[in-house]
Amino acid sequence: MPKAATAAQAPRPQLAAPNGPLIVRYKALSQYRVGPTDLDSIPPVVIRPWYNGQVARDYNVSDVVALDERLNSDLPDPDERAEETGEQILAFEAMSRFKLNWKQLRRIRPVSEIEMKERKNPNVLVYNLSDVEALNAPIAAAAVHYIAPVPRVRRAPVPPAATSIDIGPDMGYVTIGPGLETLSPEGQAFQTFARLLCLVWDPSV
């Protein structure tokens, strides 16, 4: 009788069935109001090899649209401010610590805004740490790491460059001992001439 699957032996999450057009992960992040940790809550349709041993994930556009609408259905007014409660945290610190992006932080109200002296730098928003933790908790709980056995993309080995020149049988190698060969004097002269020719020859002329 087979044993019940334990937590360590839990089956891998299933990929989604195709449902209309697909969108690759990085385009979904740029075109919709979602963050990377938001997309971790919905299954991709395809996980395929990508450049430099990485993988690319393709999602149903309909799934990404539904996720965007669900997470951003009740956004606060950007000019509203929350009441300070407990410890505060800067926006960039919140994004680094909880792996959020600015689209996700827009779902909660900041408590204040620090004006930067240099105009080229945007103002820094300050949030209640408790509000950021409350925002991140359901996102982290819903995240699922979808893994597929995809082969790594490996580049074909580059053959070594030729280091000798074919100079024909008359100016080739001569035997100098058992299993030992070297270029004949004529061959050495021709090889030196060929190397000098490669240095001065301009193929663009």
pTM of the model as a whole: 0.63
Instruction: Specify the pLDDT at position 65.
Output: 97
Cβ–Cβ under 8 Å, residues 89 and 129: yes
Instruction: Specify the pLDDT at position 54.
Output: 84
Instruction: Specify the pLDDT at position 154.
Output: 56
Instruction: Specify the pLDDT at position 123.
Output: 81
Instruction: Specify the pLDDT at position 53.
Output: 79
Q: Which residue from 89, 87, 98 is spatially nearest to 135, judged by alpha carbons? A: 98
Q: Which residue from 70, 136, 72 is spatially nearest to 98, judged by alpha carbons? A: 136
The whole-number mean pLDDT for each consecutive block of 10 residues of the chain, a chain of 205 residues, reads 50 83 96 95 91 88 97 92 94 95 95 76 87 96 70 57 47 47 60 58 46
The packing angle between helices 129-142 and 91-98, to 10°, is 30
Instruction: Specify the pLDDT at position 55.
Output: 87
Instruction: Specify the pLDDT at position 50.
Output: 83
Instruction: Specify the pLDDT at position 160.
Output: 59
